[in-house]
A and B are shown apart, each in its own frame.
Chain A
């Protein structure tokens, strides 16, 4: 049992590109769910269109920067598509329609064969080379002790956390503006906001689209890091994981998404590493749990965590309780 290695792994993931991408996705969701109270259960679709917009553009011969623009444009279009029909409806309708629309989109991307634009179940690979060509770090290992990254990892990591910082500041500025105050008013009492002459529908739509674009950046980041997109990476469970990150950190708090993502990935990775080592060492009998069950164990824990957090600490670590008891009767 190498507890130090397990710990080092967990720290590496918790500060790595994956955690940054989740933090970014949660920043977007925070604007929608935390500040505006929109129950967007199709957030993963924003990640998907961002990633696919980039991948398809590059795959068809376009440059990477154009791909990023296409990804953002796709996210704006998707936000309008999600929002226009549903934002006039009750929160539970929005939840059901967004999760359904995200699945429809995934099925449509997954459906066609390998010669199609999306390449179906095969996905698209190796479209991020331009990004890695920009890498200013010389070859080598960077880090302290056992927590280290290659120059490639460090480059992704730097850009990823820089993006997180930029969008966190943007969301802070937005939510401190008069516009942001109206969003909170909508979350607290939509009718009251409407009776004061605010165009609730348009404001919700703006929140959904901006949050979606931030989500698209998260999707692009993940896809470029992995140099691969595949429709089966964008299942509803990803949305639920982002919700867990956000609620863990604290909805409607500034740094909640970041704290949530780091902690989420640390706990997940540590538990998985620990469980794997424990199984290898024979502490957990194979009949109870074997190594192939570890992936399942992760999502069982995410589910349990989401449930317990929502029941006992809906404000997460950094949120304020009175800010998150949305829709309490």
Chain B
């Protein structure tokens, strides 16, 4: 027994905030607590088996589950009439929980056949919930080619959302030279606005589609405030690039933790479009919302492309991006172009946050998690151009998603960042960037 000082607690808090970032995998292991961690609490794994394709969802009784540590069986359970089950474990460690699919009622199966066994890491004195997703897919096990194809399509969904979120990051860099480390928080902001408008208990509970449109507008407004309230002033003060990066880091850190105070650490879903029956197009099987997200995002990205190529404003944006002084000398109102870029970029990022929240859940740090992938996307594509962000986003999305065929999905972000590092090594100007000196 060691005495703990406040300093320990302070660092534990740091660790706690860390744990929040990965809240699903790590229960709060470190608490602001002067006591020893409780040791006599037993470890549990538990869950509830429900057929969510039915409306209302129907709990499944009599489903058998077993827990193993390595090859040794350590416990088993049968679901009760509520569909609930619980297995007491002999201690902390890594366990495999297997659902016996033969005990499921007829016509009901696991949505993903490969997920009948789930691995779970349990820490001292903690209980963890496990979800076995029940769906209609019963027999046909998919061929490797089909699985890869489906992962590829999921990757496109990840990629277009990533592209939508990163277009602003890239364009803002193009017109101002700012690497905005707070861009992730714009993404989170959009998702949070949509959440409070549609799914929050005290909110107006409007339909998610309307909330998404408002989140887009709110994102644009947020961009306007950041540019005219902060970054324009800093440019006027002739702050250096490095100073601006540090400012954006501080801003992101501040906003992220304000979101944490307001929203809490628990990931929450939207109330609409949460669980959907998969929709099959040939061998591709995805929930309908994914098709809608892909369609809408692609439409918006094309619209951005048309805006950049076909309108005076778009031409002005590209001109400022190319050579600010020359653009100014040709009579372009550079400050206005920068402001519009901020508004448009932040609006798209906000909508990207809503899409991300629909496919995943909403967390206070979802944008920051996405930020590193966004950097990977814009640098891979060529920072400063919108098309680069789009191409980079798609490549990163597909690569990371398809990589889960071979590597565990917990390494997914690692794959994205490895691609980023490789890109910097091999082609630092990016796929679509012009070869120029970047150092």
Residues of A within 8 A of B (CB): 9, 12-13, 16-18, 37, 39, 41, 85-93, 95-97, 99-101, 103-104, 107-108, 110-111, 113-115, 120-122, 149-150, 152-153, 222, 226-227, 230, 232-235, 237-238, 240-241, 243-244, 247, 265, 268-269, 272-273, 289, 291, 293-300, 302-311, 314, 325-329
Contacts and interface: CB of A to CB of B under 8 A. Distances in A.
Given A18-B10, A93-B438, A99-B372, A295 B242 contact: no
Given A100-B376, A232-B18, A306 B420 contact: no
B253 A311 contact: no
B308 interface: no
A296 B6 CA distance: 17
Given A87-B439, A111-B408, A303-B255, 18 more contacts: A13-B7, A16-B5, A111-B411, A111-B414, A150-B3, A232-B19, A233-B15, A235-B21, A240-B249, A291-B32, A296-B257, A297-B261, A299-B260, A300-B258, A306-B247, A307-B254, A309-B250, A327-B240
Contact of A114 (B6, B94, B251, B376): B94
A269 B238 CA distance: 35
A260 B82 CA distance: 57
Contacts of A104: 414, 417-418, 421
Contacts of B428: 89, 93
Nearest to A291: B32
Contacts of B17: 235, 237, 295-296, 299
Contacts of B424: 85-86, 89, 93, 97
A299 B256 contact: yes
B402 to A, nearest CB: 18
A269 B254 CA distance: 18
Nearest to A37: B242
A240 B420 CA distance: 21
A304 B251 CA distance: 6
Contacts of A244: 250
7 cross-chain pairs, A with B, having the tightest CB-CB distances, nearest first: A303-B253, A303-B254, A307-B250, A306-B250, A300-B257, A89-B439, A232-B18
Contacts of A13: 5-7, 10
Interface string B387-417: 0000000000000000000001011011001
Contacts of B315: none
A286 B384 CA distance: 45
Contacts of A305: 250
Nearest to A17: B7
Contact of B13 (A222, A298, A329): A298
Nearest to A105: B414
Given A93-B439, A103-B372, A107-B413, A226 B421 contact: no
Contacts of A85: 421, 424-425
A18 B11 contact: yes
B253 A302 contact: yes
Q: On chain B, which size bracket covers the interface?
A: 35 or more
A41 B179 CA distance: 13
Interface string B219-250: 00000000000000010011111110111011
B386 interface: no
Contacts of B76: none
A292 to B, nearest CB: 8
A100 B371 CA distance: 10
Interface string B15-34: 11111011001100100100
19 contacts: A12-B5, A17-B7, A89-B428, A90-B438, A91-B245, A96-B179, A103-B372, A115-B94, A120-B121, A149-B5, A150-B3, A232-B22, A233-B18, A235-B21, A237-B14, A295-B13, A300-B257, A302-B253, A305-B250
A145 B19 CA distance: 35
B252 interface: yes
A293 B364 CA distance: 13
A311 B372 contact: no
B375 interface: yes
A163 B357 CA distance: 47
A235 B18 contact: yes
A101 B249 CA distance: 17
Contacts of B123: 121-122
A268 B10 contact: yes
Contacts of A243: 246, 249
Nearest to A96: B375
Contact of B261 (A103, A296, A302, A310): A296
B257 A297 contact: yes
A303 B5 contact: no
Contacts of B414: 103-104, 107-108, 111
A15 to B, nearest CB: 10
B240 A222 contact: no
Among B16, B25, B243, which residue has the most Cβ atoms of chain A within 10 A?
B243
B93 interface: yes
Contacts of A88: 439
B261 A289 contact: yes
B68 to A, nearest CB: 14
A327 B246 contact: no
A53 to B, nearest CB: 19
**Which of B6, B234, B238, B410 gathers the greatest number of chain A CB atoms within 10 Å?**
B6
Contacts of A306: 246-247, 249-250, 253
Give the residue among B17, B251, B376 with the most A Cβ atoms within 10 A.
Answer: B17
Contacts of A97: 420-421, 424
A226 B246 contact: no
Contacts of A227: 2
B8 interface: yes
B32 A294 contact: yes
B379 interface: yes
Interface string B173-215: 0000001000000000000000000000000000000000000
A174 B379 CA distance: 35
A306 B248 CA distance: 9
